[in-house]
Structure 1
Amino acid sequence: MSPERYARINQMLDNRQTDLTLCLDTVHKTQNIAAVIRTADAVGIHQIHAVWPDADMRVSGNTASGSQQWVKTIQYNCMSEAAKAFNSQGMQVLATNFSAKAIDFRDIDYTKPTVVIMGNERDGVSDAGLAIASQHIIIPMLGMVQSLNVSVASALIMYEAQRQREQAGMYGSRQLDEAYCQKMLFEQGHPIYAKACRRKNIPYPSIDEQGQIAADATWWQRMREPDPNAEEA
């Protein structure tokens, strides 16, 4: 791994926000999912959540044009499963929804642990999603159209959250555990070796402070051995 790539991956890891996330509520258009994940990566969100009752709706490996390598999508069959995860982290749960109690999305304090539920393209946030939300939010609009594409709305909210968190000095201090960081450095810095480890069932090695593989002779010997799972020619 080059010094430049090592520094870039570490910079990304230093800026990841583990207590800021989105929940896609049966959002199923792949181009929208891709755009949301791409923006999540851009603002430093570590992972997003998605409720997909129908297995056919689930995100594909190539949906986000590489962004899915950096932003994990945690999938649920129903909103109640997602709610348990949010409650366990003490998150304020927001839902985009035109209602009497909805407030401007910019009036929210996003420096708190936060999840924002974004509804699907046709129906918006489900009743189950609205029920677990502590606050409804809206994006004010002055034109004739009263709704935005889910990926556009998500981007506006995420960048407002990023703005607030930057002002609060919440970026640049690593929140992720070392095991995860080592895994990302190896997989994204040495992808060929990472694939070989998965094929041969070899544990990942450590990555040193120069971004290089720190492994003993036994590990390298196992790496040089023929792949037992390879098909014979």
Structure 2
Amino acid sequence: MEDPDFEHLRHKPPSALDQPRELIVACCPMRSNVNLSRIVRAASCCAVSKVVMCGNVKIDPKIARDGAEKLPISRHRSLPPVLKDLKKEGYTLVGLEQTTNSTDIHHFAFDRKTVLVIGNERMGITEDVLSVLDAVVEIPVYGMPYSYNVATATCMALYEFCRQFPGG
């Protein structure tokens, strides 16, 4: 029997962070408006400080929802110079990619001040971007195909960062 005083709230207000997140999502050029828009929406839900992107893909506001309007987004021609500048500002650059030296995300401790670098849907993170990263994490895959969709993997990585730093 359900407690008559118990109320289910469908949309409860977001939790306040103890401090702003020092997490930036940086996207290599994407092929899909849908994937990029899903990444922006997830980034907004996780209260990232900014999204950096390259390429000509557009954000669909119907998919990104409030993230398209409220989240600072910057566009650049090339990602490596931006990443090098962020590294000088003290950010740790972490790629989300399967490489020979990548670390299982379940065993990776993020730094509070992190740039999460997301690769292209087909090509992943290019060599010129990989060469400036401090670390690379991967999400284990237990079936086929060998990797998750880029937007899905980004959501998983953002969730793990937030799990490690729930208060910001």
**Could you say which TM-score interval applies, normalised by the shorter chain?**
0.7 to 0.9
Contact 1:111–1:164 (CA<8 Å) still a contact in 2?
no
Q: Percent identity?
A: 19
Output the amino acid matched with 2:124: G
Query: Matched residues in 1 for 2:84 and 2:130: separation?
Result: 15
> What do the CA deviations read for 1:126-158 (whole angstroms, capped 9, x no partner)?
111111111121101111221111110000000
CA distance in 1, matches of 2:99, 2:57: 29
CA shift in 2, pair 1:162/1:151, >3 Å: same
Counting only pairs closer than 5 Å after superposition, residues 1-233 of structure 1 correspond to structure 2 as: 16-17=20-21, 19-52=22-55, 57-60=56-59, 62=61, 64-166=64-166, 170-171=167-168
Structure 1 residues 37, 12: CA separation in 2 closer, same or farther (over 3 Å shift)?
farther
CA RMSD of aligned residues (A): 2.2
- Segment drifting more, 140-149 vs 152-161: 140-149
Instruction: Report the count of equivalent residues.
Output: 155
1:77 Cα deviation after fit: 0.7
Report how far residue 32 of structure 1 moved: 0.7
Q: Contact between 1:111 and 1:165, CA under 8 Å: does it hold in 2?
A: no
Deviations 1:20-52 (A, max 9, x none): 121110113111111111111111112111122
Cα distance in 2 between the residues matched to 1:15 and 1:61: 29
Corresponding residue SS for 2:74 = strand
Would you tell me which structure has more helix in proportion to its own residues? Answer: 1
Larger C-alpha radius of gyration, 1 or 2? Answer: 1
**TM-score (structure 2 length as normaliser):** 0.81
Whether the 8 Å contact between 2:32 and 2:57 is mirrored in structure 1 is no
Moved more, 124-133 or 75-84: 75-84
- Residues 144 and 20 of structure 1: CA distance in aligned 2, closer, same or farther (over 3 Å): same
**Mind listing any 5+ residue stretches in structure 2 that lack a counterpart?**
1-12
Q: Given the two structures, how large is their TM-score scaled by the length of structure 1?
A: 0.60
Alpha-carbon contact 1:15-1:44 (below 8 Å) kept: no
Structure 2 SS opposite 1:22: strand
SS of the residue 2:90 aligns to = coil
2:42 counterpart letter in structure 1: T
Show structure 1 runs of 5+ residues with no match. Answer: 1-7, 172-233
* 1:114, distance to aligned residue in structure 2 (A): 0.7
2:88 and 2:23 mapped to 1: Cα distance?
14
